[in-house]
Structure 1
C-alpha cells in the first residue's frame, strides 16, 4: 500500500505477559502508537484517501471516539476539510482533539433530535454528506477500511520470527476483525511461517457482561482469533457487527467468552504497570485474555491446541484516546477493583 497515512507499528515481546501463558511467547502489536492513537487510522485513513482520489473534497463521519479522531487526522494529512457529527454524550477531551485537528464538529442531540446515540448522529452525518463533493466515511463497515486494517497482517509477516498461533483482537463493529481476516485471505496458502492455511483453527468471541457476542460458527483455518465485544468500553459500543464479519466467521471455529468490566479495567491498570502505557477498557478487554488466564484455560479445556514448541500469541494493542490516569482511577473505583486482585500479584516489568 503506497503513500499510506498510517505508520508501521512495533511488535514487542513481553516477558511479563509471556510468564502468564506458560510455554508461549506473547507479542504486543502496538497500534496505540498510530498518529491518531489507535489502529483505526489504518482503515479510515485508507478509505478517506481513496475517497479523495475519487474526487471528494469534504469528508463526513458520525463518531464520538477513535474513528472520528482517525478521520480528522487523515483529513489533516490529506489537506481536505472534514465534518464529524458526534453524539451529545461525547467526552470533552475528544471534542477538543477533533477541533485541534481542524475538524468541523457538530454536537447534535438532546430531546431525541440527533446525536443522542450513534444511529441518530449517523442520520445527521448522512445529511451533511449529500453534497456531491462530500464523501460519507463509515466508522468501520466498508471494504476499504478492512483493506487498510489488513496491513497489520502484512507487517506481522515481516516482524515475527514465525507464524503466530493465537491472535487476540478486540471487536466492536468488527472492522478490525474484517481487516485481519482480509489480510489472511490475501496471504493465500502462506502464513507468517511455513505452515499452510489448511488445518484446524479457532475463532473465539468474548464480550463484556451485558453485551452481545458473535454467534458460534465453524470451518477450518490455521490461525486462532480471540475477539471481544464490549459493553463498558465506549469505543466498542457499535450497535451491530459488520455483516461481512459474520460471513467470514463461518470459516473459523468460534468460541464465546465473557469479560467483566472489572477484568477489562484491571487489565488496563496492570498493562500500565507492566508496559508503562495507558489504553482504553476496550483494549483492556483483549489484554484480559492473558491477564485473567483465558488462553491458559482454553488450552486446558482442549479448545486451543498449540502446534509448535514455543507458540506465539499476538495481542493487538488497539489503543484509543479515551483514556487518562484520572479516568482509569475512576473506572477502578466504579468497578470495585481491589488491589489484592490476582491480576496485580505479578509486579515484574518488561
Structure 2
C-alpha cells in the first residue's frame, strides 16, 4: 500500500455559489499533514527498492516531516538537515517521526549543500520539490479526482518550489485533462514563479520575506517554469494578510487548520475574482503542520 491515503473530495458550501462549485481536495488530512507525502512517499519507496539504506533530506518544513514519516514507515533511518530559521515546532515534528535533525546555515541553500555533501553511496537524497519521482507521486491526487468523476474547469493551487504544480499538471495530462488551466498562487515575498513569468526566465529571489515559509523557494524548479510555457498556468500573488485571513476563515468553515502557504490558494478561492466563469473549480488544500491556531491568530492581529 502507498504511504499516502486517498483524501476526501468535498464541495465547499462556503466557497461555492449557485453558478460555481468549488471542490476541495483535502490533502491537509494526509497522515504527516500535507500533500508532500504523496511524492516523497512514492520516491522513498522507489529508492528503497533500489537499495537505499538511509534517506537524507534538506527541508525544515513539511517535506522534512514527510521524509521522516516515510522513513519510519519503511524502517529506513532518516537525516533531515534544516536551516537555523526552522521553527522549534517543525523540528519537534521531524524528531517525533524518529528522524535525526541537523541544524545548519542561515538559509535552505546552506542546509541543502550540507545535506548533499553528506550523501554516501547507499543513501538517497530526498529533495523537497525538484525530483520527477515526487511529481509522479503528487499526480496521484488528480488520479483520485478523475476516479471520482470530476473534470474541473480550473485547478487552484499554491506554489513554492513548484513540485505540486509539476505533479498536478502531470496528473491532468495523464487523465485526459491537458487543457485544464492551473491557477498558481504565491504570497508577496515568496513569488519566485510570478517574477520568473514576468521576466521570461527563471529568477532567484534575494531572500524570502513572506511568513508563508512553506512557499519559500528562492528559485522554482526548472520544470515548473517550463510548464508555464507549455500548459495554461495563470500566476496570482496575494499578500500575507489575505493568506492568514483565509486560514482563519477556513477553520470556521471546514474545521481544519492549514498553513498560510495553503491559505494563499484559499484566499483566491474565497475572493473568486480570479476564478472567472468556471463552473467547477478544484482547490488543492495542500495542508501544512508547522503553523498552529495560536500563530495564525497572532499573525492575523499583526496584519490588521
TM-score in terms of structure 2 length: 0.91
Q: Does 1:324 align with 2:295?
A: no
1:240 matched residue in structure 2? 219
Q: CA deviation at 1:290?
A: 1.7
Where does 1:1-350 land on structure 2 (aligned, <5 Å)? 3-19=1-17, 22-108=18-104, 115-129=105-119, 131-160=120-149, 162-187=150-175, 190-191=176-177, 197=178, 202-210=181-189, 211-212=191-192, 213=194, 214-215=196-197, 231-296=210-275, 299=276, 305-306=277-278, 311-336=279-304
Where structure 2 has 5 or more consecutive residues not aligned to the other structure, the ranges are: 201-207
Q: Secondary structure at the match of 2:129?
A: coil
Kept after mapping to 1: 8 A contact 2:79/2:102:
yes
Q: Secondary structure at the match of 1:135?
A: strand
How far does the alpha carbon of each residue in 1:291-347 deviate from its partner, in whole angstroms, 9 at most, with x for none?
Answer: 123235xx2xxxxx54xxxx21111000001111110111111211xxxxxxxxxxx
| Alpha-carbon spacing, 1:73–1:250, altered in 2? closer, same or farther (3 Å) | same
How far does the alpha carbon of each residue in 1:152-201 deviate from its partner, in whole angstroms, 9 at most, with x for none?
Answer: 110001124x31101111010000000011112222xx34xxxxx46xx5
For residues 96 and 183 of structure 2, the distance between their equivalents in structure 1, rounded to whole angstroms, comes to 38
For residues 250 and 207 of structure 1, the distance between their equivalents in structure 2, rounded to whole angstroms, comes to 18
Kept after mapping to 2: 8 A contact 1:85/1:105:
yes
How far does the alpha carbon of each residue in 1:16-65 deviate from its partner, in whole angstroms, 9 at most, with x for none?
Answer: 1113xx50111110001111100000001111111111111000011110
Where structure 1 has 5 or more consecutive residues not aligned to the other structure, the ranges are: 109-114, 192-196, 219-228, 300-304, 337-350
Kept after mapping to 2: 8 A contact 1:208/1:230:
no
Aligned residues: 294
For residues 46 and 154 of structure 1, the distance between their equivalents in structure 2, rounded to whole angstroms, comes to 14
Kept after mapping to 1: 8 A contact 2:186/2:215:
no
| Alpha-carbon spacing, 1:333–1:278, altered in 2? closer, same or farther (3 Å) | same
Kept after mapping to 2: 8 A contact 1:166/1:314:
yes
| Alpha-carbon spacing, 1:116–1:145, altered in 2? closer, same or farther (3 Å) | same
Q: CA deviation at 1:4?
A: 1.2
For residues 11 and 25 of structure 2, the distance between their equivalents in structure 1, rounded to whole angstroms, comes to 9
Structure with bigger helix share is 2
Q: CA deviation at 1:133?
A: 1.0
Q: CA deviation at 1:216?
A: 6.0
Q: Which has more radius of gyration?
A: 1
Q: CA deviation at 1:202?
A: 3.8
How far does the alpha carbon of each residue in 1:193-217 deviate from its partner, in whole angstroms, 9 at most, with x for none?
Answer: xxxx46xx54444332233315169
1:226 matched residue in structure 2? none
- RMSD over aligned CA atoms reads 2.0
